[in-house]
Chains A and B, each alone.
Chain A
Amino acid sequence: GAVVSQHPSRVICKSGTSVKIECRSLDFQATTMFWYRQFPKQSLMLMATSNEGSKATYEQGVEKDKFLINHASLTLSTLTVTSAHPEDSSFYICSATGTSGVDTQYFGPGTRLTVL
C-alpha cells in the first residue's frame, strides 16, 4: 500500500513553455502533499506544502507564480512550471502523507525536467 505515482517520469520542453507534473496517491487519501526539487549535488529542497482544498505554502525563495501548485482532490496534486527556463531543469519529487497518524511521507518516483 501507500503508492504515489508521478506523471510524466521524464519531460523535455522548450524554454518559455509551461509544464505540468501530476502527483497521485493511488491507494490512500493524501491530506498533505509536498513538492521537492533535487539539485545536482543530490540534496533535496522542499519547495511547497499543499493541503487538499487550500492554497499551497511555499518555502522562502520559491516563486509561487512560477511554480503553480494545485491540490484539488485528496489523491491529486499538480505542479506547473510556468515559462520554464534551462535553470528550471531538475528532478522534481512529490510526496504525500495520509491519515495514518504517523509522520511518514511516501514519495513518488520523480519527474526529470529538461528545459532546452
Chain B
Amino acid sequence: GEDVEQSLFLSVREGDSSVINCTYTDSSSTYLYWYKQEPGAGLQLLTYIFSNMDMKQDQRLTVLLNKKDKHLSLRIADTQTGDSAIYFCAESIAGNMLTFGGGTRLMVKP
C-alpha cells in the first residue's frame, strides 16, 4: 500500500530557507502535492508537481522531485513568521484519492 512519510518538526530563523522533506513508496504516483495548514484552519493547496517533472518553482517556493529515490522536497526561500504552519505532502494515483504524510510543523523564529 501507499506510505508517505515526513519529519515531524522543523525550526528555522526568519529570513533563512526552509526545506521540508517527504518520501513516498508508490512509484505509480501521478501527482505530488504540498498543502499548508495554519492553526485552526483547513488545508490550503500550495503547489503540486506532475510525476514526470523534477522541479517546479513558484515565487518563494521550489519543489524538487527525485523519482528514483521517491523523495519530494519543498523549499521556502526567505522564510517569514507567517510561514509557520503544518505542511503536508500528499500523493495521488488514479481516481484522485490522496494519501497524506503525517505533516511537518514549521516553526519560524524571529
- A interface residue numbers (CB < 8 A to B): 6, 32, 34, 41-44, 46, 49, 93, 95, 97, 102-110, 112
Contact = CB atoms under 8 A, between A and B. Distances in A.
A contact patch SS: strand
Interface of B: 30-31, 33, 35, 40-45, 48, 86, 88, 92, 96-98, 100, 102-103, 105
Contact of A109 (B30, B42, B88): B42
Nearest to A10: B40
B94 to A, nearest CB: 9
A95 B42 CA distance: 10
B103 A105 contact: no
A41 B97 CA distance: 21
A104 B44 CA distance: 11
Contacts of A32: 96
A107 B92 contact: no
A105 B98 contact: yes
Nearest to B103: A42
B43 A93 contact: yes
Contact of B102 (A6, A42, A104): A42
A107 B45 contact: yes
Given A43-B100, A93-B42, A103 B86 contact: no
